Structure 1
Amino acid sequence: MATEQEKPLATKIGRPQPKEKPLHSLTAGAIAGAIEAFVTYPTEFVKTRSQFGGKRQSPIAIVKQTVVTQGFTGLYAGCGALVVGNAVKAGVRFVSYDHFKRKLQDSEGKVSAPRSLVAGLGAGMMEAIFAVTPSETIKTKLIDDAHRPNPQYRGLAHGTVMIVKQEGITGIYRGLIPTMMRQGANSAVRFTTYSTLKQFVQGQARPGQQLPSTMTFGIGAIAGLVTVYTTMPLDVVKTRMQSLEARTQYRNFIHCAYRIATEEGVRRFWTGTTPRLARLVLSGGIVFTVYENVMRVLG
């Protein structure tokens, strides 16, 4: 009979580690994504506004102008699209990542950093196709429309219907390629950083010990920080491709990137870094913390 000290090792060797159920991953991811999107939305609003063409404005100037002209609720223009899209996105992301991770793990259930990178890349591609591109295209158009003298969209539902009527179903899939590239890079970098740091921290802890929420939040925040600086140019190109003038200004995402670089300078690719950094640091902490805790509740 195994002693108390031997039990964790015997358990680890004698039977496989518990696997996340797809429905649990989907539920936990969707809840985490919806909460994160609502809490951090003002930073997403400011980031998107700062990435449009024209005169550059600081995040503080954008906030002041929006609050003065539209009130505090103006900072939540397009929020509904992102909350719904983020819930679906996070659900798809975690289900996809768990699936790819199981396929790539070794006999001990561990996933190396390169394999985690591949799993994250696959998860990012899935979420870009099924959730991110349509929700972010609608969100971007609603934000772009909201600060115009005569807005044409009255909200999420009306805006979506009008976009589809005017541009067809492809209207909500503007910027699919840069979105897939961004989400693939986002998930690859974020999950790899998170998994590597988490495995390192767990390696220092006692066998079977659960990481506290504060530690999970901190690891997720660091993962968000790394993600921002490595994927920012793709985010700027994605936003431009989804703006209201994209059809008349850019032939494709390569032409868009070329025009930004030659007409506005390479530094323009990192416009909106501060608000996006604020969002992804908070996002990484919130999403992973909520996800881990919901998964514990679901058993």
Structure 2
Amino acid sequence: MTERVEIFEVGPRDGLQNEPRPIPTMEKVALVDCLSGAGFARIEVASFVSPKWVPQMADSAEVLSRITRAEGVSYAALVPNLKGLERAIEARADEVAVFVSASEGFSRANLNCSVEESFARIAPVVTGARAAGLKVRGYVSCVTDCPFDGPTSPEQVARVAARLADLGCYEVSLGDTIGQARPETLRPMLEAVMGDLPPELLAGHFHDTGGRALDNIVESLEAGIRVFDAAVGGLGGCPYAPGAEGNVATEAVIARLAELGVETGLDAEIVAQAAGMARDMRSREE
């Protein structure tokens, strides 16, 4: 392959949000600042959900105010509702993300509502964000397996992804939330989704619980996807998916893509430095 792939760095948000140790704001800022020099076009750094549910992200506005913004880097924030959107706009997020599940069980556990109700919640968020001049990215959880419902129907994933695009999301990230996807289960899902959406509107988001994340990236590459979410140091997990490991490690994705002759444009040495910082965050005691 002589392709170019973009890695969307999600470590500072999706990676850190479930860490049990309250991580000091300036450690988060230092991580983002390090990542800003690695060549990423997009870094997800904040989440404006209720601090009651995700206390680790309570300082998101302060993180956004303290980072040194690099030219050409879009700093993204996850928002669940209009209140979260208002806070993200005030904090000068460059773009925002909304999230839904492809499975009813996970939606009710994670969002306390049905899939249909979750769309009713995010629709005004997308409208409001676009009116404010912000791009909106959509996340779909449990695209192959759900910890509550079992295997997820590819057709259901396709319906959810298409609805996000119809709402106005410029990109839809397909999430293997509990890290159980395999190329043979991933393939029919991608085929179903791509029956409605071109690969240019899609991204892959893989966790490495089953040790297959890199294989799934290769499978997605062959299907035409050219954007992948990853977290330095393999940060992350999911409180609603017991045993779910972190996101696939950014440094591991860079190495596998390099083996395939695929360029990312990232500075591997800086990414390795950031990965070390991420691992230090995880290893310290509370």
TM-score range relative to shorter protein: under 0.3
Q: Could you state the TM-score of these two structures normalised by the residue count of structure 2?
A: 0.27
* TM-score, normalised with respect to structure 1: 0.26
Tell me which protein shows more helix as a share of its residues. Answer: 1
Q: Larger Cα Rg: Structure 1 or Structure 2?
A: 1
Q: Which has the higher strand share?
A: 2
